[in-house]
Chain A
Amino acid sequence: MKSLGNIRRSFAPWNDPSAKPYIAFENITKAFGSFIAVNDLTLHVFQREFFALLGASGCGKSTLLRMLAGFEQPTSGRILLDGQEMSGIPPYRRPVNMMFQSYALFPHMTVEKNIAFGLKQDGMAKSEIEDRVAQMLKLVKLEQFGKRKPHQLSGGQRQRVALARSIAKRPKVLLLDEPLGALDKKLREETQFELMDLQQELGLTFMVVTHDQEEAMTMADRIAIMDRGQVKQVATPAEVYEAPNSRFVADFIGSVTLFEGKVEKAEGNRIEIAGTDGFPIRAESAVAVTPGATVHYAIRPEKIRLTKARPADPSVNAAEGEIWDIAYLGDMTVFHVRLASGKVIKISQMNATREAEEPFGWDEQAWVSFPANAGIVLTS
């Protein structure tokens, strides 16, 4: 099988059936009164994994993280960490540490005291604490700032202190709740790579909660996409993008055009869909479908070609439409093409050269086309 996307490194314990999960959420349900925040959720995370929980606000991702930290107790189900059952263990005895969204730095303590706080609670020797604090300050490049108080630091520096404090105790798992949410875009992008490097260097298991899909795609080994207390898909960033398992995931990650239709012919994995938008779609389906079934064909904007004339190759799917909107973003241009059926298709073109080969204007007629394997067939 050809790989999806670009491979970062050969680390994939989730494909190894003998690998034991490091963190196991088993049939976890959490209810706040009548509101079900997490609904019968089972999820396995492996050691040294950078795992992201991605979802809109209120999907239960933070609640899941807080249950692992011990701030919330599951209504039912159990959590195992490194084989040990976590229920009944208070937060201050759990071998996990959390980096809070608000950073939660102690305002009355200096940077050094903040970092030393957790070590002091463990009764570590004073000289050892000093060494560890110095080591942490060096790691986050804040050696000059040890004597400062949190309010004397910029947002980015505070973020680093919070990070240093949460890894100072070398926890089994580091939990990060929207770790970069308060930083501006440029700083956030830099910090994403720094976090990845740090995770590699320390060999810790990271579990991050975020609503920013770009952040999750950049940093995580695997992403769990959550909706209304349930996990919709757990997969690598490339799989989530190129092979979503449902319309929800396809629509949630990136941008997508969905065509609806009935399966007309199915020969092995090659199928033909009678689309409701006035043109037939030839597709390759990874899942078995029977003729007559209603399916959706999901296609990403960058996988659609936009041309003035119909492509010569008769095997590609093609439809004629009108240029409805054009957004020039610098690195790429996004077109909205309206078909005769009223369907609006999103297309993005990389601006690989400074002048467009085939310039399009508003209201012009154009052909959209895509080969059979450009999109994915979804049955749910």
Chain B
Amino acid sequence: MNTTWSRFNILSVVVGFSFLYLPILILIIFSFNASKLVTVWGGFSTKWYVSLFSNQGIMDAAWVTIRVALLSASIATVLGTLAALALNRYTRFNGRMLFSGMVYAPLVMPEVITGLSLLLLFVAIGFDRGFWTVTLAHVTLTMCFVAVVVQSRLVTYDRSLDEAAMDLGATPVGTFFQVTLPVILPAVVSGWMLAFTLSLDDLVIASFTSGPGATTLPMKIYSQVRLGVTPEINAVSTIMIAFIATGVVIASIITKRQEVQRKRDERMAMAQP
């Protein structure tokens, strides 16, 4: 493998990463700005973080967002996993192509359309908009992502594991909880995390389906920004970035550790007669 870095390579890496992370970096830096003016540096301060926690509006929105994300991600994970299992198992039913296509359709559906159609549905059936409508809308949005993640794991799942479990006397339900689910659990967990982050930062669908008392954090930030960007918004955004980044880093460390452990175990096994 060629490991030397040409100037061109260095340049493209620097440009690429600046493009991705410079805006975020500026946001983080200005969240520690002592000045009230967003674009003028007035020295280092953490006062916006302090005032953030006494801003009841933002704190309420954050709490709504977290509850919506936890609940919708959990429901979406159950539904998405079931959908993935069904599509993986029953490979020979009429209209399978149609069904799998329909599961993936929300992935490419413009969010505005999803939001609008959900709004029309809730209005039509007379469902009062609020916490539950946002949660249900987020389930609709994120379920297909979970289904995709779990299904890609199931492609390499050895069906004879299930057969072996049943052969040894486990009922279909017992087989699922004792064998299938534990084996695909990492995929289910990463599906959940994906659903959680998607719900956390959704603005469009939440705007359509939310009602009084159920303002989510992205909605709150957006409405505040329209009145002018304050360092407080920078601070809350920085916390959100830290939150998501920590989750992603932990998830990838867990995956990496498992991989390393597995490789070491395999080497150990090979060394034995």
Contacts and interface: CB of A to CB of B under 8 A. Distances in A.
Genuine A/B complex: yes
Contacts of A69: 163, 167
Interface string A30-44: 000000000000000
Contacts of B169: 92-93, 118, 121-122, 169
A71 B158 CA distance: 15
B183 interface: yes
A129 to B, nearest CB: 13
B164 A100 contact: yes
A222 interface: no
B168 A152 contact: no
B176 to A, nearest CB: 13
A104 B158 contact: yes
Contact of A121 (B174, B265, B268, B269): B174
A117 interface: yes
A14 to B, nearest CB: 27
Contacts of A106: 161, 164-165, 179, 183
A255 interface: no
Interface residues of A, number: 30
A268 interface: no
Contact of A151 (B158, B266, B272): B266
A36 to B, nearest CB: 17
A304 B252 CA distance: 68
Interface in B217-232: none
A340 interface: no
Interface residues of B, number: 24
A90 interface: yes
B166 interface: yes
A380 to B, nearest CB: 38
Interface residues of B: mostly helix, strand, loop or mixed? Answer: helix
Given A91-B163, A106-B161, A165 B269 contact: no
A91 B166 contact: yes
Contacts of A102: 158, 160
Contacts of B179: 106
B265 A149 contact: yes
B171 interface: yes
Interface centre among A92, A98, A101, A149 (most CB of B within 10 A): A92
Contact of B167 (A98, A107, A149, A157): A98
A325 B258 CA distance: 55
Interface string A88-120: 001111001110111010111000000001100
Contact of A107 (B166, B183, B270): B183
A152 B268 contact: yes
A176 B270 CA distance: 25
A108 B168 CA distance: 16
Contacts of A91: 163, 166-167
Interface centre among B158, B167, B171, B262 (most CB of A within 10 A): B167
A274 B181 CA distance: 69
A153 interface: yes
A104 B183 contact: no
Contacts of B182: 108
A362 B163 CA distance: 55
A15 interface: no
A154 interface: yes
Nearest to B261: A151
Nearest to B181: A108
A31 B171 CA distance: 26
Contacts of B171: 92
B163 A152 contact: no
Nearest to B171: A92
B170 interface: yes
Contacts of A122: 169
B265 A118 contact: no
A117 B270 contact: no
A104 B160 contact: yes
Interface in B20-77: none
7 pairs of A and B residues whose beta carbons are closest in the complex: A118-B168, A121-B169, A104-B164, A104-B160, A152-B265, A91-B166, A108-B182
Interface of B: 158, 160-161, 163-171, 174, 178-179, 182-183, 262, 265-266, 268-270, 272
21 contacts: A92-B167, A92-B169, A96-B167, A97-B168, A98-B167, A104-B158, A104-B160, A104-B164, A106-B164, A106-B183, A108-B182, A108-B183, A117-B165, A121-B168, A121-B170, A121-B174, A151-B266, A152-B268, A153-B269, A154-B269, A169-B169
Given A92-B166, A100-B163, A169-B169, 10 more contacts: A69-B163, A69-B167, A92-B169, A93-B169, A104-B158, A104-B161, A106-B161, A117-B165, A154-B269, A157-B272
